[in-house]
Amino acid sequence: MYTGTYFDGKTSKGYSAFIEFLTDGIHISYTDDELNKSMVIWDVDGIHKGHYSNDQRITLKYGEVPLQYLEVSGQDFFKGFIAAYPHKRFNESSLEFLRTKGFKGVMVIGIGFLLLAGLSYFFVLPPLAEFLASKMPIGMEIQLGDKMYDQVMQSYNINQRLTKEANEYWRAMHVSSPYIVNITVVNNSEPNAFALPGGQIIVYDGIIREMNDYDELAGLLAHEYSHVRLHHSTRMMSRNLAGYLFISLLLNDASGTLAVLVTNANSLKELSYSRGLEHQADEGGYDMLQSVHINPDGMLKLFKTLNSYQSKIGLSVPKFISTHPLTEERISYISDRLKKDKTSYSGEQKALKKIWQEMKSDE
């Protein structure tokens, strides 16, 4: 009988185990987290070729994904393993591979693996995580957004009146959406707003108080909704947390991915979008306003209001500008589109203006 560490493949935790080589396979006995004694039997045919770490430790892997692992120290185990199943000679040649390479060979292979892992960490996984996030089913994205919303709102006080009126304003925009969009206005003097995955949009009352015209709010909501529709929040957060996801995959603990995303939900309010994603949100917001016949001039007014606010307070940069940087290219883009826009708008949006006036009535 030998002792080692058994990994069940469901989590990254290892269990102290007793190991026996019997005719029907390798018997592994261990005690689980609930102090229950358990035993698994590995059919020899299901044992992979594995890898032999060094002269002191052997690692075996077994079954289909999620793979099970067994780590045991000592040459006696290796010799006993080969002796118990002589008809499985492939194990010996495979497990001996690294040992036959010698110390330098092992070092070269180890350094090569580290370089490959490093390249994957920095150059492969982030865009891959972003791509997979962009393909997330809407139902899953909504579920993720709701969990994040519960986490984020623990640090805010909701302005119930403005929240009610902001949602009335959104409904009066008559935007067709696969998401159930929910606007939450919170009490915070900073001019800021951000979107969570799945249709949750958080707006600080500070940015509403800085607005001068009703269509600026339409421009803000159109811009933030475009971030939702284009999965920007999900993509960027997954990219930023790619390191966690990478380690989770290495440890075969993919079940922790959702927990990591939810735990880091608060970082979304500080999430800085790239210039390209901001342009996409501006473009999408403009198109959306155009499609529901609301003059997109409100977006340009909003940008000018925020720039004016920045000049008024001096060197400090408003939250919205720091996370949604107002480059001259973005402002020029909206201006140019307005000049070329041939869409016929129905003049003043009376329903939106009425709700807006109610929102501003207690200032």
The pLDDT profile of the chain, 363 residues, written as one tens digit per residue, is 889 899 887 776 788 999 999 988 899 999 987 888 999 999 888 887 655 455 567 778 888 877 888 888 877 887 788 788 877 654 444 445 555 555 555 566 567 655 655 555 555 555 665 666 667 678 878 888 888 898 889 889 999 999 999 999 999 999 998 888 999 999 999 888 999 988 999 999 999 999 999 999 999 999 999 999 988 877 777 766 665 655 554 444 444 555 555 555 555 555 566 778 888 999 999 999 999 999 999 999 998 888 887 777 665 555 566 667 676 788 899 999 999 998 888 777 899 999 999 999 876
Arch. (CATH architecture) of 2-95: Roll (2.30)
Q: What is the pLDDT of residue 91?
A: 47
51 to each of 43, 101, 209, 286, how far by Cα in Å?
A: 18, 13, 64, 56
Report residue 220 as tokens: 């803000």
Q: What is the pLDDT of residue 213?
A: 93
Phi-psi region of 169 (alpha: psi -120 to 50; beta: other; left: phi over 0): alpha
Distance separating alpha carbons of residues 282 and 224, to the nearest angstrom: 9
Residue 69 CA to its chain's centroid (Å): 28
Distance separating alpha carbons of residues 279 and 127, to the nearest angstrom: 19
Distance separating alpha carbons of residues 219 and 235, to the nearest angstrom: 23
In the chain, residues under CATH classification 2.30.29 are 2-95
Distance separating alpha carbons of residues 158 and 75, to the nearest angstrom: 64
Distance separating alpha carbons of residues 269 and 250, to the nearest angstrom: 29
DSSP one-letter string for 50-94? -EE-SSSEEEEEESSSSPEEEEEESHHHHHHHHHH-TT-HHHHHH
Distance separating alpha carbons of residues 295 and 337, to the nearest angstrom: 12
Which uninterrupted H or E stretch holds 203? strand 200-204
Q: What is the pLDDT of residue 266?
A: 55
Q: Which of 216, 215, 190 is nearest to 203 (CA)?
A: 190
